[in-house]
């Protein structure tokens, strides 16, 4: 029971899954690009969410020595294991929608 809740805590909230999907799709992704990928998220909120994902060891943050300085994110090995979960949730969500709308 507690384990399920741990997973749900990591994934819940309005933005987490969108952020993970954006980084995962592009492999490596800059802060400003993630900001562009996700409709409606603010600079501040993205920053906060990424910090949480970093604390949860799901994403790795790298500061690139470019001009201007850019910050890049990628999934950790642990973060990549989330992909199966997200895929399963996607498949089930599609089935569920069909079931509710009567196919």
Contact residues for its own copies, defined by CB under 8 A: 1-8, 10-12, 17-18, 21, 56-57, 78, 81-82, 84-86, 88-97, 99-100
The residue (of 30 and 37) whose beta carbon lies closer to its own copies is 37
Q: How far is the CB of 92 from its own copies (least distance, A)?
A: 5
The residue (of 21 and 72) whose beta carbon lies closer to its own copies is 21
Residue reference for tokens 């910050």 = 71
The residue (of 17 and 35) whose beta carbon lies closer to its own copies is 17
Rounded to whole angstroms, the Cα distance separating 39 from 49 reads 15
Residue reference for tokens 């949860």 = 56
Strand 28-30 with 70-75, pairing: antiparallel
Q: How far is the CB of 6 from its own copies (least distance, A)?
A: 4
Q: How far is the CB of 71 from its own copies (least distance, A)?
A: 23
The residue (of 64 and 94) whose beta carbon lies closer to its own copies is 94
Burial pattern 40-58, b for ≥16 Cβ within 10 A else e, equals ebeeebbeebbeebeebeb
Query: Strand, helix or coil at 30?
Result: strand
């Amino acid at each position: 029971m507690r384990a399920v809740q741990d997973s749900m805590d990591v994934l819940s909230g309005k933005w987490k899954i969108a952020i993970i999907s954006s980084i995962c799709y592009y492999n490596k992704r800059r802060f400003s690009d993630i900001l562009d990928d996700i409709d409606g998220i603010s600079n501040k909120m993205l920053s906060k969410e990424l910090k949480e994902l970093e604390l949860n060891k799901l994403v790795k943050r790298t500061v690139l020595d470019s001009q201007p300085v850019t910050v890049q994110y990628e999934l950790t090995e642990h973060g990549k294991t989330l992909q199966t979960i997200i895929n399963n949730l996607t498949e089930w969500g599609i089935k569920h929608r069909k079931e509710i709308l009567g196919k």
